[in-house]
Amino acid sequence: MFDFPAFFSNHPLLLAPMAGVSDEAFRALCLEQGADLAYTEMVSAKGLSYANEKTRHLLSLAPGEERVAVQLFGHEPDTMAAQAAWVERQMGEALAYLDINMGCPARKIVSKGDGSALMKEPALAADIVRAVTRAVEHPVAVKFRRGWAEGDETAPEFARRMEDAGAAMVAVHGRFAEQLYRGSADWGVIARVKEAVRVPVTGNGDVRCGADAAAMVARTGCDAVMIARGAEGNPWVFAQARAALAGKPEPRAPDARERVAMARRHARLLAAREGRNIVRMRKHAMWYMAGLPGAAAARGRINACVDVEDFERVFDELLECVRAHGESGESPVLLPSSPCS
């Protein structure tokens, strides 16, 4: 079984569970670039209970992916426990640990009492953790936020309750649920949670480059760093973060050709998973191409792409535009060196 304590002893880098983003294709690229573990997209326990094929498909492994963390969401203890046990049976040795989503602020999630809505129901949240930990042998983690609304500084106490209920790790995002993704993440709450519990603490929020990851660990004492939006169109952030945490120079930012090459690989991996219709690649293509010559003009064409051939044509056009704007073999056109610069 996955060595949970050893894993969290060396500041692992985790790819966050992001709906519509953290599929096998994206996980494979992030793992290749240095992520120590990737989460699945968040998985509905209710959907699993109905044997929904689309929901079950979220549990598919990426090529070469030996371990994955599975995040479940829901608010019914019995359903969460039963489906956690089902996931454990299905995943076998590929399952690193289970995670319970108590941090998603999306309206369609919280309106049903799921995600960060559970921060307003700490007793129910603890019941869910107890039910799941009793139902499975794997460790159970909980991901949550600073609190529900501004002034609701409940994360440390919430973390203690989750630990008492059996959570083996807690991950905290430094924004309130009502903030969604506006403003800045408060890393101070991560430090306060770290002081409040004995289990490993994972920090999350506003890690966009290697220096951010190192700063988060230094300021908060967190045991692991979870990267979400900072990895969108930028799987290289994991290599940069690993170097920064080791006190080494960060690898240079990818040049335009490397950006396009990664986008091309991403599209092909997604096509191998999804078939001809890979419209979900549109947002990834936008992220990869941000800042490149011709990217703004290509936006409309990207939004019309459906299959891998469509994306290949746009990528070829972008490379031609890059070449036309003066890139030479000796002085590549670089994107900004990092979001921290």
Q: CB–CB of 170/159 below 8 Å?
A: yes
Highest mean pLDDT among 116-130, 293-307, 310-324: 116-130
If you average pLDDT over every residue of the chain, what do you get? 93
326/85 Cα distance (integer angstroms) = 57
* In a domain? residue 79: yes
In the set 30, 104, 209, 305, the catalytic residue is 104
Instruction: Assess whether 200 and 238 both reside in one domain.
Output: yes
Mean pLDDT for the stretch of residues 120-131: 99
Q: Is 17 annotated as a binding residue?
A: yes
* In a domain? residue 335: no
* pLDDT band (50, 70, 90) for residue 329: very low
Q: Is 286 annotated as a binding residue?
A: no
The residue among 187, 210, 245 that closes a domain is 245
Instruction: Assess whether 56 and 167 both reside in one domain.
Output: yes
Instruction: Assess whether 74 and 153 both reside in one domain.
Output: yes
Instruction: Assess whether 54 and 186 both reside in one domain.
Output: yes
Q: CB–CB of 169/176 below 8 Å?
A: no
Angle at 159 between CA 157 and CA 162, to 5 degrees: 115
Q: CB–CB of 30/242 below 8 Å?
A: no
Concatenating the DSSP letter of every residue in 80-146 gives: HHHHHHHHHHHHGGGEEEEEEEE----HHHHTTT-GGGGGG-HHHHHHHHHHHHHH-SS-EEEEEEE
* In a domain? residue 337: no
Q: Is 285 annotated as a binding residue?
A: no
Instruction: Assess whether 182 and 59 both reside in one domain.
Output: yes
pLDDT of residue 1: 76
* In a domain? residue 306: yes
* pLDDT band (50, 70, 90) for residue 293: confident
Q: CB–CB of 48/87 below 8 Å?
A: yes
Mean pLDDT for the stretch of residues 304-333: 77
Q: Tell me: the pLDDT tens digits for 128-162? A: 999 999 999 999 999 999 999 999 999 999 999 99
Helix (H) or strand (E) holding 281: helix 281-289
Q: CB–CB of 80/102 below 8 Å?
A: no
**Token reading at 97:** 């640990």
Query: Is position 30 annotated as part of the catalytic site?
Result: no
Per-residue pLDDT at 341 exceeds 60: no
pLDDT of residue 27: 97
Per-residue pLDDT at 327 exceeds 80: no
212/77 Cα distance (integer angstroms) = 36
Instruction: Assess whether 285 and 155 both reside in one domain.
Output: no
Percent of the chain with pLDDT over 90: 87
Q: CB–CB of 52/87 below 8 Å?
A: no
Domain count for the chain: 2
Q: Is 19 annotated as a binding residue?
A: yes
* In a domain? residue 330: no
Instruction: Assess whether 184 and 52 both reside in one domain.
Output: yes
Whole-angstrom CA distances from 141 to 39, 69, 107, 228 are 12, 10, 23, 17
Instruction: Assess whether 240 and 262 both reside in one domain.
Output: no
* In a domain? residue 192: yes
* CATH number of the domain enclosing 161: 3.20.20.70
Q: Tell me: the pLDDT tens digits for 43-65? A: 999 999 999 999 999 999 987 89
Instruction: Assess whether 154 and 263 both reside in one domain.
Output: no
* In a domain? residue 101: yes
* pLDDT band (50, 70, 90) for residue 314: very high
pLDDT of residue 273: 86
pLDDT of residue 296: 86
Residue 42's identity, in one-letter code, is: M
* In a domain? residue 92: yes
What are φ and ψ of residue 339, in 5° steps?
Answer: -65, -15
Whole-structure pTM value: 0.93
Q: Is 33 annotated as a binding residue?
A: no
pLDDT of residue 231: 98
Instruction: Assess whether 27 and 98 both reside in one domain.
Output: yes
The residue among 245, 273, 290 that closes a domain is 245
Per-residue pLDDT at 13 exceeds 70: yes
Per-residue pLDDT at 106 exceeds 60: yes
251/12 Cα distance (integer angstroms) = 18
* Residue of higher predicted confidence among 330 and 215: 215
Instruction: Assess whether 235 and 284 both reside in one domain.
Output: no
Per-residue pLDDT at 254 exceeds 90: yes
Instruction: Assess whether 148 and 70 both reside in one domain.
Output: yes
Q: Which domain holds residue 225?
A: 4-245
Q: Is 57 annotated as a binding residue?
A: no
- Residue whose token pair is 């921060």: 119
pLDDT of residue 63: 78
